[in-house]
Amino acid sequence: MKAAVITFPGSNCDLDLFHALADLNFEPTVVSAQTTDLSNYDAIFLPGGFSYGDYLRSGAIARFAPVMAAVSQAAADGKIVVGICNGFQILTEAGLLPGQLFGNAQPGFICDEVDLLIDNPETAYTNAYNDSRIKIPIAHGEGNYYVDSATLAQMEANHQIIFRYADNPNGSVADIAGITNLAGNVFGMMPHPERAVDAITGNTAGQPFFKSILQTLSMAVGRK
Amino acid sequence: MYTAKIYVTYKPSIVDPQGEVIQAALQRMNYQGITSVTQGKYFEVNLAAPNVAAAKNEVADFTDALLINQNTETYRFELVSNDDEVQS
Amino acid sequence: MYTAKIYVTYKPSIVDPQGEVIQAALQRMNYQGITSVTQGKYFEVNLAAPNVAAAKNEVADFTDALLINQNTETYRFELVSNDDEVQS
Amino acid sequence: MTTSGLKELTPQQIHDSKLYLEWGLTEKEYQLIVTELDRLPNFTETGIFSGMWSEHVSYKKSKAVLRKFWSQNERVLQGPGEGAGILDIGDHQAVVFKAESHNHPSFVEPYEGAATGVGGILRDIFSMGAQPIAVLDSLWFGELDNAHTKHLVDGIVAGIAGYGNAIGIPTVGGEIAFDDVYAGNPLVNVMAVGLMDQATMQVGQAKGVGNAIIYVGAKTGRDGMNGASFASAEFSSQEKADRAAVQVGDPFLEKLVMDTTLTAIRDYADIIVGIQDMGAAGLLSSSAEMADKAGMGIELNLDLVPQREAGMIPYELMLSESQERMLLVVKAGQEDKILELFRQNNLDAQVIGTVTDNGRYVLNFQDKVVADLPLRFLTHPLEPKLTAQKPKRLEYLTKNQYQPDVSDLKSTIKKLIGQATIASKASLFRHFDSMVRADTVIKPGGDASLVRIRGTKKALAMTTDVNGRYLYLDPKKGGQMAVAEAARNIVATGALPIGITDCLNFGSPDNPEVYYELEQAVAGINSMAKRLNTPVISGNVSLYNETDGQPIYPTPMIGMVGLLADVAQALTIGFKNSGDRIYLIGTTKDSFNGAEIQKMQTGKIEGQLFDFNAEDELAVQKLVMQANQAGYLASAHDLAEGGLAVALLEASFTGHLGFKIQTQSPTKYLFSETAGRFLVTVPARCQSDFEALAGKQAQYLGTVVDGDDLALVTSEETVHLSRAELQKIYQESITWQLKD
Ligand SMILES: Nc1ncnc2c1ncn2[C@@H]1O[C@H](COP(=O)(O)OP(=O)(O)O)[C@@H](O)[C@H]1O
Ligand SMILES: [Mg+2]
């Protein structure tokens, strides 16, 4: 499976994501934000970091990077588009996912490992998990997910909420840690599964996340 | 040349956690009479434009597009041109 | 009751990396005439005070103490009282 | 746009008004300049001398001491003198590291001071051609009982986080300690570690006549004007600090500069002759030092320097400490490739001068020569001869060791575990991204931190340590003990200590008692470094750390790096399994003067420092390494502040297990701080093998148990403690103290 990891100026988890994907049998390529064509890739990943310094609002400037038209196109074509941390912030700013990420309720950056509850186990991001509660690292200053209550109700009804915090670290509405769009092909989460794929660094709970995506993509290819 | 002074605030329905933290801090510092604090953003943009109307359009345009998140923020701005102030 | 509108900006000699990045983004978005952007903060604080002078003092006080970083930022403010605007 | 507020005085006016004194040059130095030049120096030149001859840039007062550092062994590829030191770690790889202080800037402006400290040390690392892989920070504050200290803590921690997190280099470790002597003069030391292929090694030299001097990175503004001479002057709380010295960091820009510089080194190794970052005294010191190291001259055209503010004068352009700037020397005729690479990444890049062979430092500005100075003279100030005198306080110290009051053991432990210096710093370091790059094996909270090297089995251990209280009572022994403790922390992860960087934080060297402390501390560091075979390959000096004549404790921070051949052998501090055997390795003595318990119970640090035995220390470290290699150890934790009591509790908090132990020693020994000790656990199946290996060096204490109960039996009493209760105090104490 060909995966693009998009690196924006200021992205800093691009290589972490690249390694995680490579270790879990994707064929990843790091692709610059200047790229305008992503048609060669089966899945698109937007990594964590501080794109354009996260100045103004996190993700606000990155959404105007040249590559974003191609990301929107990929999303419209039904390809899997995943944003992690800053990638999630970019996808919300770009309007590819609902809501917005505000500064943490208690201001300040937090780096920790937190428990997530898998709200919807039957998605392209969760179907390889056996447990419904997993521990995944977080590292963000602006992870406080906000969405208006009407949209939230729709998201709940459509099972778009994929991960929730067991113990909300940042003030997110409805303890939301990860969501998809209505179609289910665009996904964003604040926690970092790519930091949890290697036993030597102490946590492998991120592996099934990537395996789920790979499995889903292979099935889709099989069906074609 | 014009200078646009742009004031961005959250929409009233949005909680502003930073504002609340600041208010609590001020209360601890013994500023007792403070009943609310909100924090927004303030931009000064210098731009060239053929006339006031064009400048206004441009400011509204790029503020909507980039400077604010339309889901949660609103703004007002003033335009200053050669010492003439034009309210928007 | 008064509302203080407080505008905080960097001192002129302090680098404003945010402003520079926003300016570059606007240029990439084809707003060509923009020659500078600075980003500051904007606060609205509601406070009770016996009179305008006391309110002004209090605003100056807590702005110096908490809202700004005196090493790098400066501010101006306006005070609004029952629809009367008082410039500071 | 502002224009300069500075008025350029004429040479005669400078002479008559003695402006040079205000700028930190002495009368003698000024006279020397006049004699050497055979004329009066002009305004720009006087500024240049004041910057270059400041202690911060020239080390003129500390050089004699620094020369004594032992800095050579089979691993050393680059010792002191460059941006950072380099050690061979095999497989054609090398580790690069250095520490730097940002004490004064952080006191004036905590957030930006600390942030730019991180930015500065990272530039030192990547200018050598290495990819930075980790940052550590060592912070000393006053006690947490006043609003100003709390403000400093918040700002400094946020500044380190703000810069390190954004640029994407993990902050993996450090230390935070509190003592009144730092209230008016906090210490902010930052260490950075990088990794490189030996083939890409770069040094900061301007070789080759006609080669181009290229400026890259941020534009020059008036930031941090004269920061270097500022850092070399004492603080007085009367005088409002010089606010012009505030520098603002931009981690986003630095990430672009870092990535592009490393790309340039990788792709254009053949045309890049030298690289140096612009640190203290900015463009001036970087250009002068590069030319001097190559034995060349340099000529710059200041009109070409990218400028952020209008109307800057040469003095300002040369001394500005704007951040995120680098200087490259590139082979003549090849400049365009480098310029293009940087410009592609939206960075300013500009040829601003050339290398010459006449040994002169020449600056042109607006078609005039504004400085023309002999380079070697400029880079070699007089080294004033300083006198050392044993401090009076050390003359009549009682030999008797303080005897702790342990009449109520339970409450003593409860109180101890909540002391700011002992309590967990997690509520502070959780603001640092310790995991970005996904290589962090041991995160903050262990003894040393451990970062794996992807694609190999190797990992690098790193730590920073020093206990200023020990040095206050005995600068030499304290210096030895700082190195010993750093090594113990490295060994506790399973790694082999391989090298040292340092940050020598002291008071004014003009005070003979302080100079004595400096000399003695360095002697102590050196003697232990040699025994451990850990050369001192880089470092930094921060003098004049005093407020109103009151110096800080002598605080030479030791940053140490260790190499672990097989990351699978990594050891951590937490208890692992119920039933594991607990041992204390090393001998416990009456070691209480300078200890945490003395401070807690008397509010003072006094008496003769307890004994330190280097041989014992080495033997104990060797044993732990051997036992680990043999596979006998389940966990290891070194003993430091608070002694055995604290080590036991930390091992149980981290492992979420209890313990049941019994010692033949008196209760007070739980708090002794004798050096050279470890707490280890051994799986039951390895017990006899381990005991055979350890012999008398290890003392059996008891076992790891499930549940909340912590049972302690001494020769005098038995107590039961609740892990949950103590853990809460340990974890939340700092947060509580910061709050109210
Ligand atoms: N400022 C800091 N930044 C990151 N980690 C820190 C900091 N201060 C302390 N730590 C971490 O907390 C742990 C305990 O620190 P310390 O008590 O100094 O250890 P030790 O006594 O073993 O040297 C270490 O893992 C250290 O890296
Ligand atoms: Mg330790």
Instruction: Output DSSP code: residue B67.
Output: I
* D247 is annotated as contributing to ligand binding: yes
pLDDT in the model for residue D543: 94
Query: Distance (Å) from the C-alpha of residue D316 to the closest C-alpha of chain C?
Result: 12
Question: What's the whole-number mean pLDDT along residues D643-659?
Answer: 96
Contact B17 A103 (CB under 8 A): yes
User: How far are the Cα atoms of B29, D144, D181, D452, D737 from residue D740, in angstroms, in the given order?
Assistant: 12, 10, 22, 40, 6
Residue range B32-51, pLDDT digits in tens: 889 999 999 999 999 999 99
Question: What's the whole-number mean pLDDT along residues A134-152?
Answer: 97
Q: Which of D171, D175, D441, D485, when mutated, tests ligand 1's pocket best, judged by the most ligand atoms within 8 Å of its CB?
A: D175
> Is the predicted pLDDT of residue D162 greater than 90, yes or no?
yes
How far is Cα D596 from Cα D606, in angstroms, rounded to an integer?
A: 12
pLDDT in the model for residue D236: 43
Tell me, rounded to whole angstroms, the distance of Cα A92 from its chain centroid: 11
User: How far are the Cα atoms of A83, A118, D520, D716 from residue A92, in angstroms, in the given order?
Assistant: 9, 21, 59, 65
- Of A78-82, A206-210, C63-67, least confident by mean pLDDT is C63-67
- Looking at ligand 1, which atom is closest to the CA of residue D137? 1
**D242 pLDDT band (50/70/90 cuts)?**
very low
Could you give the domains of chain D?
571-740 (3.90.650.10)
User: How far are the Cα atoms of A178, D87, D264, D420, D592 from residue D68, in angstroms, in the given order?
Assistant: 57, 19, 36, 35, 31
Residue D440: phi and psi, rounded to 5, are: -80, 115
Of all residues in chain D, what percent carry a pLDDT higher than 70? 96
Q: Yes or no: say if A107 and D158 are a contact pair by the CB < 8 Å rule.
A: no
Residues 21-80 of C with CB under 8 A from A: 21-22, 25, 28-29, 39
B5 contact partners, CB below 8 Å, separation of at least 6: B42, B43, B44, B77, B78, B79, B80
Residue D670: phi and psi, rounded to 5, are: -60, -25
Question: What's the whole-number mean pLDDT along residues A174-197?
Answer: 98
Give D492's strand partners. none
pLDDT in the model for residue C82: 61
Query: Distance (Å) from the C-alpha of residue A61 to the closest C-alpha of chain D?
Result: 13
Q: Is the CB of D184 under 6 A from ligand 1?
A: no
* D608 is annotated as contributing to ligand binding: no
Q: Yes or no: say if D502 and D540 are a contact pair by the CB < 8 Å rule.
A: yes
- How many C-beta neighbours within 10 Å does residue B88 have? 14
Measured CA angle at D261 (ends D257, D267), to 5 deg: 145
Got the DSSP string for D629-655?
A: HTT--SEEEE--TTHHHHHHHHHHHHH
Strand, coil or helix: what is A12?
coil
Contacts of C64 in chain D (CB under 8 A): none
Q: How much is the mean pLDDT over chain D?
A: 94
Instruction: Output DSSP code: residue D235.
Output: B
* D617 is annotated as contributing to ligand binding: no
Question: What's the whole-number mean pLDDT along residues D18-44?
Answer: 95
Q: How many angstroms does the Cα of residue D443 sit away from the middle of ligand 1?
A: 10
Q: How much is the mean pLDDT over chain B?
A: 89
Residue whose tokens read 């017990």: D687
Q: Is A66 on the interface with D (CB under 8 A)?
A: no
Residue nearest to atom 12 of ligand 1 (CA): D445
How far is Cα D64 from Cα D720, in angstroms, rounded to an integer?
A: 55
SS3 of A98-151: the string is CCEEECCCCCCCEEEEEEEEECCCCCCCCCCCCCCEEEEEEEECCCEEECCHHH
**D241 pLDDT band (50/70/90 cuts)?**
very low
How far is Cα D604 from Cα D466, in angstroms, rounded to an integer?
A: 18
pLDDT in the model for residue B82: 61
pLDDT in the model for residue B83: 52
Which range, A5-19, D51-65, D209-223, has the best average confidence (pLDDT)? A5-19
Cα-Cα end-to-end distance for chain A: 14
pLDDT in the model for residue D493: 98
Contacts of C17 in chain D (CB under 8 A): 248, 250, 252-253
Closest ligand to the CA of D422: 1
Of A61, A99, A102, the CB nearest to B17: A102
How far is Cα A222 from Cα C2, in angstroms, rounded to an integer?
A: 68
- How many C-beta neighbours within 10 Å does residue D486 have? 32
Q: How many angstroms does the Cα of residue D113 sit away from the middle of ligand 1?
A: 21
Between D384 and B28, where is the model more confident? D384
pLDDT in the model for residue D253: 96
Contact A201 D346 (CB under 8 A): no
> Is the predicted pLDDT of residue D240 greater than 70, yes or no?
no
- How many C-beta neighbours within 10 Å does residue D145 have? 13
Of all residues in chain A, what percent carry a pLDDT higher than 90? 96
Of A61, A93, A144, the CB nearest to B17: A144
Confidence (pTM):
0.94
Q: How many angstroms does the Cα of residue A12 sit away from the middle of ligand 1?
A: 25
Residue D261, token pair as written in the block: 């510089």
Examine the residue annotation and report whether A13 is marked as an active-site residue of this protein.
no
How far is Cα D243 from Cα D105, in angstroms, rounded to an integer?
A: 10
Amino acid symbol at D183: A
Question: What's the whole-number mean pLDDT along residues D635-662?
Answer: 97
**A223 pLDDT band (50/70/90 cuts)?**
low
Strand, coil or helix: what is B13?
coil
Residue range D27-36, pLDDT digits in tens: 999 999 999 9
Between B86 and A49, where is the model more confident? A49
Between C71 and D298, where is the model more confident? D298
Length of chain C, in residues: 88
Query: Distance (Å) from the C-alpha of residue D505 to the closest C-alpha of chain A?
Result: 29
**D233 pLDDT band (50/70/90 cuts)?**
low
pLDDT in the model for residue D125: 96
> Is the predicted pLDDT of residue D227 greater than 70, yes or no?
no
* D123 is annotated as contributing to ligand binding: yes
A4 contact partners, CB below 8 Å, separation of at least 6: A28, A29, A31, A35, A38, A40, A41, A43, A44, A45
Question: What's the whole-number mean pLDDT along residues D159-165?
Answer: 98
Contacts of A101 in chain B (CB under 8 A): none
Q: How many angstroms does the Cα of residue B31 sit away from the middle of ligand 1?
A: 37
> Is the predicted pLDDT of residue D457 greater than 80, yes or no?
yes
pLDDT in the model for residue C58: 93
Closest ligand to the CA of D448: 1
Contact A100 B69 (CB under 8 A): yes
Q: Yes or no: say if D558 and D483 are a contact pair by the CB < 8 Å rule.
A: yes
> Is the predicted pLDDT of residue A85 greater than 60, yes or no?
yes
**B15 pLDDT band (50/70/90 cuts)?**
confident
Amino acid symbol at D141: F
Instruction: Label residue D366 left, alpha or beta by phi (over 0 means left) and psi (-120 to 50 means alpha).
Output: left
Residue range D74-129, pLDDT digits in tens: 999 999 988 899 999 999 999 999 999 999 999 989 999 999 999 999 999 999 99
* D322 is annotated as contributing to ligand binding: yes
SS3 of D485-524: the string is HHHHHHHCCCCEEEEEEEEEECCCCCCHHHHHHHHHHHHH
Residue range D670-721, pLDDT digits in tens: 999 999 999 999 999 999 999 999 999 999 999 999 999 999 999 999 999 9
Instruction: Label residue D594 left, alpha or beta by phi (over 0 means left) and psi (-120 to 50 means alpha).
Output: left
Give buried/exposed letters for D310-334 (b at 16+ CB in 10 A, else e).
eebbbbbbbbbbbbbbbbbbbbeeb
Question: What's the whole-number mean pLDDT along residues D121-146?
Answer: 96
D266: number of CA atoms within 13 Å, CB side?
12
pLDDT in the model for residue B87: 47
Question: What's the whole-number mean pLDDT along residues A88-114?
Answer: 96
Between D487 and C16, where is the model more confident? D487
Got the DSSP string for D437-495?
A: TS-EEE-TTSSSEEEE-TTSS-EEEEEEE--HHHHHH-HHHHHHHHHHHHHHHHHTTTP
- Of C15-24, C74-83, D409-418, least confident by mean pLDDT is C74-83
User: How far are the Cα atoms of A7, A80, D395, D638 from residue A2, in angstroms, in the given order?
Assistant: 16, 11, 73, 48
Q: Is C43 on the interface with B (CB under 8 A)?
A: yes
Residue range D563-581, pLDDT digits in tens: 999 999 999 999 999 999 9
Give D272's strand partners. D330
Q: How many angstroms does the Cα of residue D246 sit away from the middle of ligand 1?
A: 28
User: How far are the Cα atoms of A158, A198, D490, D592 from residue D219, in angstroms, in the given order?
Assistant: 51, 42, 41, 54
How far is Cα A223 from Cα D202, in angstroms, rounded to an integer?
A: 54
Q: Is the CB of D223 under 6 A from ligand 1?
A: no
How far is Cα D718 from Cα D219, in angstroms, rounded to an integer?
A: 67
Residue range D257-295, pLDDT digits in tens: 999 999 999 999 999 999 999 988 899 999 999 999 999
Q: Is the CB of D447 under 6 A from ligand 1?
A: yes
pLDDT in the model for residue D81: 84
Of D162, D255, D567, the CB nearest to A10: D255
> Is the predicted pLDDT of residue D634 greater than 90, yes or no?
yes
> Is the predicted pLDDT of residue D506 greater than 70, yes or no?
yes
Strand, coil or helix: what is A61?
coil
User: How far are the Cα atoms of B4, D332, D348, D691 from residue D271, in angstroms, in the given order?
Assistant: 47, 9, 19, 59
Query: Distance (Å) from the C-alpha of residue C84 to the closest C-alpha of chain A?
Result: 33
Could you give the domains of chain A?
2-223 (3.40.50.880)
- Looking at ligand 1, which atom is closest to the CA of residue D447? 22
- Of A40-44, A220-224, D556-560, D703-707, least confident by mean pLDDT is A220-224
Residue range D245-256, pLDDT digits in tens: 578 899 999 999
C75: number of CA atoms within 13 Å, CB side?
25
Could you give the domains of chain C?
2-86 (3.30.1280.10)
**D630 pLDDT band (50/70/90 cuts)?**
very high
ipTM summary value = 0.93
Residue nearest to atom 16 of ligand 1 (CA): D175
Residue range D332-362, pLDDT digits in tens: 999 999 999 999 999 999 999 999 999 999 9
pLDDT in the model for residue D25: 95
Q: Is the CB of D444 under 6 A from ligand 1?
A: yes
User: How far are the Cα atoms of D430, D489, D562, D627 from residue D565, in angstroms, in the given order?
Assistant: 29, 17, 10, 15
- How many C-beta neighbours within 10 Å does residue D306 have? 17
Measured N-to-C along each axis, helices D147-167 and D251-267 cross at an angle, to the nearest 10 degrees, of 40
> Which residues of D carry out catalysis?
56, 102
Question: What's the whole-number mean pLDDT along residues D474-478?
Answer: 98
SS3 of D527-594: the string is HHHHHHCCCEEEEEEECCCEECCEECCCEEEEEEEEEECCHHHCCCCCCCCCCCEEEEECCCCCCCCC
How far is Cα D418 from Cα D410, in angstroms, rounded to an integer?
A: 13
